[in-house]
Amino acid sequence: MPVQTDYALYTERGFKGQLVDEELHNVTTKIADVVIPYGTAVVRGSADNGVKIVTASTEEFVGIALRTLSGSPESDGAEQYEKKESANILDFGKVYVTCESGCVPGDKVYMRFAAGPGGTVIGALGNSADNDGTNDTAVLIPDATWESTATVGATAVVKLR
């Protein structure tokens, strides 16, 4: 029987939408108006308790979709909340997300509402307004900062205050 004889010194930093630690945080339950991938910024949806992915700079930021291991049977292992599914939304605390632009601690956090030169994934998080030459394609999330260093497309920590 084979035996494992070597181990990686470092493991994966974290998974998108995963809480960083048990530091003080707040999670609310909302209803997904659309399919929402884990680790994505969400805004107020159409119903009283609904959330959706941002589509305009004027929409109200609600939080970041947290990872869960109790998804619906429809998700079939996909890392997302299905439409009309209860979604855990972090509105205070630290969470792992994918940084589409690269970041360093203290950078401001922006959520993408339109495709631009820095990325095309709507709801993705970065560290700039990513102007397309005419308009910004991402909007600042108030009281949010990057808390770790990451290269483009790598996992990083966002702190919501």
Report the amino acid identity of residue 72: S
- Do residues 122 and 59 touch, judged by C-beta distance below 8 A? no
Q: Which pLDDT score, from 0 to 100, does residue 11 have? A: 66
- Residue boundaries of the structural domains of the chain: 26-160
CATH of 26-160 among 3.40.50, 1.10.530, 2.40.300, 1.10.3470: 2.40.300
Q: Which pLDDT score, from 0 to 100, does residue 38 have? A: 94
- Averaged over successive runs of 10 residues, the pLDDT of the chain (161 residues) comes to 75 86 95 95 93 95 90 66 94 96 95 86 91 87 96 95 94
Q: Which pLDDT score, from 0 to 100, does residue 47 have? A: 84
**Model confidence, pTM:** 0.88
Per-residue b or e along 36-54, where b marks 16 or more CB atoms closer than 10 Å to that residue's CB? bbbbbbbbbbeeeebbbbb
Q: What's the burial of 138, exposed, middle or buried (CB within 10 Å: 0-12/13-18/19+)?
A: buried
Q: Which pLDDT score, from 0 to 100, does residue 73 have? A: 55
